[in-house]
Structure 1
Amino acid sequence: MAMPEPPTQGNRFTSIEPDQFNTLLNDYNHAVAQKLVELDEERYTTIPKRLQEQPTGSATLSKEEVATLVDWKLAHGKFRPTLRSLVQQNDENTIAEVTRDAFASYDKSAKDARAAKSALAALTKLRGIGPATASLLLSVFDTGNAPFFSDELFRWCMYEDSKGQGWDRDIKYNVKEYLELYDKVHAFKERFRKAFDRELSVVDIEQVAYTLVKGSVDSQTGGEKADGPSKKRKVDSKNDDDEIEEKKKANSKVAKSAPKATASIETTATASESLRRSARRQK
């Protein structure tokens, strides 16, 4: 896949102004493949609206909604064929309980990265849900203030004109990076509010970042839109947040089972020594 064009001075995260912001925001629908429109409707309208209609403190996501959001994430970003199956291993009651606790612990009025930290910690208890996917679940609950940890938004926020610091910047997909992103996005919102008397949602900023990256790439490839994974596409998941989360959980299970394994080895060794002593006495 071709590398997106570097942002111009007018497209920089720190200096973009309303006219160019509006142009990119309006072009979002052209940057998304037609086949993804239905998923966009679920992610940006249907699911957030249903959450807003639920009583305060009792909002939850269903298993089907979480699966839909994961499908949306895969369709718009890196393709991981195993992710949906991991998420499906969570049962309906667990998803309801975890999302209820996470949303109840999150203060929409705080507008501070610390408000998101406990919510992310709760959401990542679900199988297959790492910090980036957890931020997506939080974003549909608070579309105004909780940004989705997308590759495009993170790299636009952090963009620098040097190798490995631009669109090719490595992402660790950890909570620390998300909290940094959260604060930068809110600083962006505050700049627009003060300088242009304009209130932005984090969804607006997310979509502008997506257009800036995908639209730039599409213009280099003759207008071909990202239509999901190609048969020839190499699946890149070495830094994916969900894979990292699964490895952590797997390592934790190994660590917990290690003492038992050690005890088993020691028991076997003791038994062997007893047999040798018994054999010597018989001689």
Structure 2
Amino acid sequence: MTPLASTITSAEFTQLLTRYANAVIAATRPNAKPEPVATLDSWRRTELPATIASRSPPHMTKAELYRLVDCKLKRGKNRPILRLIEGNAEDFVVSTTTAAFAGDIRTSFATLLALRGVGPATASYLLAAHRFPHVPVFSDEAFRWVVHDADWMAKIRYDANEYWDFYEKVQKIAARLEVDEEDVERVGFVLGREALENGNGKTTSSSAVAAPVADGAPTAAGKKRKSAAETREHEDEFAANKVKAGGNTKRQRSKKTATTTDLQPEVSAASTTRSSSSRVLRSRKTAGNGA
């Protein structure tokens, strides 16, 4: 079975981590411009943290912010936010990151959200660059592995609460295995990317792990809800037919009653005619006997 984040062994963890470079290369989109994700990812994990630390006070430039967000988008879901990043003034990026990097991790996180185009997931990339390697980035793959036990279909809201839940769980895993938090995220990324490539559903083995199911595909909970809905629909249909049948019965009874009522005058008339004929015959018979 695929190793879960809560029970993965050191040997399994180390082996998966060796596959990270290939997972990043596999994530490269055709004709990636201006830089492929492998180049950007190497930069964000090696050069950028060193550059930030060399400054006094530590901060990021607008060009670095743009490049880091480009890396995030190419590494995960491609969203149209680079134009928003471009809307930040250079001095605002410098002052905001300076203030953010001077505070504790949660204050830093909240401060970075003031930048245009920066949400919780993107803020995690900035924090990770400043506090490398002790802060994991908020990637879909690692989040689903750590928080949802490798349920690659789990929905993500991308809010601050989800990130801090993820962050705290990553810290526990890192402490148990005596590794960096950044490494925990990378192993989750490997598992998620391999799952996508293999096109599997639920996790089955370390060499063929679960893949994200296409949007709209039914989950177990979805099937359960659908089943309940279908049951209600069937019950409603049954009730409707029952009412309809009841209405038909009433109409049939009314029709029968109406038919019987319509026939009553004819029956009465026939009975009257027969009674009159009987009286005439009796009268004639009596007369005949008396002559």
Superposition RMSD on alpha carbons, in Å? 1.9
| Equivalent residues, number | 193
2:58 matched to which residue of 1?
59
Structure 1 residue aligned with 2:103, among 91, 102, 105?
A: 105
SS of 1:32's equivalent in the other structure is helix
Equivalent residues in 2 for 1:94-133, closer than 5 Å: 94-106=92-104, 116-133=105-122
TM (norm. structure 2) is 0.63
- What is the percent sequence identity of the aligned residues? 33
1:32 aligns with 2:21: no
* AA at the equivalent of 1:153: A
Structure 2 residue aligned with 1:216, among 195, 207, 223?
A: 195
1:148 matched to which residue of 2?
137
SS of 2:116's equivalent in the other structure is coil
Distance 1:138 1:98 in 2: 13
1:135 aligns with 2:127: no
1:79 Cα offset (Å): 0.9
1:144 Cα offset (Å): 2.5
1:160 Cα offset (Å): 4.3
CA deviations 1:212-259 (Å, max 9, x no partner) are: 1112322449xxxxxxxxxxxx9xxxxxxxxxxxxxxxxxxxxxxxxx
Structure 2 residue aligned with 1:170, among 145, 150, 155?
A: 155
1:157 aligns with 2:146: yes
* AA at the equivalent of 1:47: L
1:203 matched to which residue of 2?
182
* AA at the equivalent of 2:87: Q
Residues 117 and 175, structure 1, Cα contact 8 Å, conserved in 2: no
Residues 143 and 201, structure 1, Cα contact 8 Å, conserved in 2: no
1:74 matched to which residue of 2?
73
2:4 matched to which residue of 1?
12
* AA at the equivalent of 2:95: E
1:46 matched to which residue of 2?
47
2:285 matched to which residue of 1?
none
Q: Which has the larger radius of gyration?
A: 2
Distance 1:159 1:188 in 2: 14
Higher RCO by CA contacts (8 Å cutoff, separation 6 or greater): 1
1:125 Cα offset (Å): 0.2
Distance 1:87 1:158 in 2: 29
Residues 142 and 192, structure 2, Cα contact 8 Å, conserved in 1: no
Distance 2:170 2:86 in 1: 31
SS of 1:134's equivalent in the other structure is helix
2:173 matched to which residue of 1?
188
1:75 Cα offset (Å): 0.3
Distance 1:145 1:39 in 2: 19
TM (norm. structure 1) is 0.65
1:87 matched to which residue of 2?
85
* AA at the equivalent of 2:62: K
CA deviations 1:61-93 (Å, max 9, x no partner) are: 01011001110011011111x200001000100
Distance 1:151 1:216 in 2: 12
